[in-house]
């Protein structure tokens, strides 16, 4: 069996695997797609100490760094079940194989929920964005919209209002769903407009986004707003469905971890965007991957 088996090959998983391998213990990493979300990312400007990089380039560096160590890499393999058996954690893959390990680090990440309207897919990284911390500054001096009036949408709108010229919040329901303190803060800002009861119909553009069409659900009328960017903020979904009935998760499906990355199952750890650690960022997921690996090592030397 492995000493540490990492499930997921994004920033969290790569970091966890390197930290584990550096302890000289038997380490494996199984990933559906090595690199994770950064494979879909263009410019990255907040990976501290690297002023600018692009997702695929960072993913290649991650892989190169992992390959410096004696780590068994199993790419293009999807885990479908976790089971704890005779003190070993069993990870069953879609292809039927079962991997056994004394400890497992879950780092299967998350995905932004898509709104699924015409233009969203076409203009991804060309004006359609999901992460205000990442892409907000690209729209300095411009008009943007935030789709979604929940906590993440309103936090994004407040954040963006300080960076861009004007923010329009588009909410499907008749009222915003965010906490009142956030709504109060939002309403105190002069460069924000809120449109409720609005169904986004299309994100428009040519080579990049130039606006958004929505339907006023009260009147059925169609409206178009001119914009340089659209931030979709209707939820981040952790890739944890396959853990149903095993590892403890919160209401959002995030794996609940303690300060050392440990879950409710002894020997099973989690890190990065699939866990309940707040703020989903590359640098944060790498840090939590390191924490989980050191947590797993600690567990191994005590058991």
Residues that bind ligand FAD (CB under 6 A): 7-13, 30-34, 36-38, 40-41, 44, 46, 78-79, 107-110, 112, 130-131, 134, 239, 242, 272-273, 280-283, 285
Backbone angles phi, psi at 215, to 5 degrees: -110, 125
Toward ligand FAD, which CB reaches closer, 14 or 194? 14
Nearest approach, Cβ of residue 297 and ligand FAD (Å)? 19
Nearest approach, Cβ of residue 216 and ligand FAD (Å)? 30
Toward ligand FAD, which CB reaches closer, 171 or 254? 254
Toward ligand FAD, which CB reaches closer, 18 or 192? 18
Q: CA 192, CA 198: separation in Å to the nearest integer?
A: 16
Toward ligand FAD, which CB reaches closer, 246 or 281? 281
Place of tokens 């924000």: 192
Nearest approach, Cβ of residue 286 and ligand FAD (Å)? 8
Q: CA 151, CA 93: separation in Å to the nearest integer?
A: 36
Residue with smallest beta-carbon separation from ligand FAD: 109
Toward ligand FAD, which CB reaches closer, 48 or 301? 48
Nearest approach, Cβ of residue 152 and ligand FAD (Å)? 13
| DSSP class of 40 | G
Q: CA 170, CA 237: separation in Å to the nearest integer?
A: 20
Nearest approach, Cβ of residue 274 and ligand FAD (Å)? 6
Nearest to 233, CA basis, from 285, 174, 177: 177
Toward ligand FAD, which CB reaches closer, 192 or 292? 292
Cα 198 to its chain centre, rounded Å, is 26
Burial 162-180 (b: 16+ CB within 10 A, else e): ebbebbbbbbbeeebebee
Backbone angles phi, psi at 223, to 5 degrees: -130, 150
Nearest approach, Cβ of residue 42 and ligand FAD (Å)? 8
């Amino acid at each position: 069996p492995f000493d540490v088996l990492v499930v997921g090959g994004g920033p969290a998983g790569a970091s966890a695997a390197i930290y584990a391998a550096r302890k000289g213990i038997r380490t494996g990493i199984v990933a559906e797609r090595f690199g994770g979300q950064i494979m879909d990312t263009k410019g990255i400007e907040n990976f501290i100490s690297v002023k600018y990089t692009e997702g695929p380039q960072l993913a290649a560096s991650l892989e190169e760094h992992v390959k410096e160590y004696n780590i068994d890499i199993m790419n293009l393999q999807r885990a479908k079940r976790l089971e704890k058996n005779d003190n070993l954690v069993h990870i069953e893959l879609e292809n039927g194989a079962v991997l056994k390990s004394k400890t497992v680090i879950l780092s299967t990440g998350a995905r932004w929920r898509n709104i699924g309207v015409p233009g969203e897919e076409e203009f991804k990284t060309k004006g359609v964005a999901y992460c205000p911390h990442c892409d907000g500054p690209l729209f300095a001096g411009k008009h943007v919209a935030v789709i979604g009036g929940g906590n993440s949408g309103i936090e994004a709108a407040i954040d963006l209002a300080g960076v861009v010229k004007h923010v329009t919040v588009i909410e499907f329901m008749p009222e915003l769903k965010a906490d009142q303190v956030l709504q109060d803060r939002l309403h105190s800002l002069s460069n924000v407009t809120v449109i409720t009861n609005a169904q986004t119909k299309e994100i428009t553009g040519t080579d990049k986004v130039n606006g958004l069409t929505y339907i006023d659900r009260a009147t059925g009328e169609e409206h178009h707003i001119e914009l340089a960017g659209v931030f979709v903020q209707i939820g981040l979904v952790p890739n944890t469905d396959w853990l149903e009935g095993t590892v403890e998760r919160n209401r959002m499906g995030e794996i609940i971890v303690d300060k050392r990355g440990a879950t409710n199952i002894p020997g099973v750890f989690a890190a990065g965007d699939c866990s309940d650690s707040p703020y989903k960022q590359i640098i944060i997921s790498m840090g939590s991957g390191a924490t989980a690996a050191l947590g797993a090592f600690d567990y191994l030397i005590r058991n």
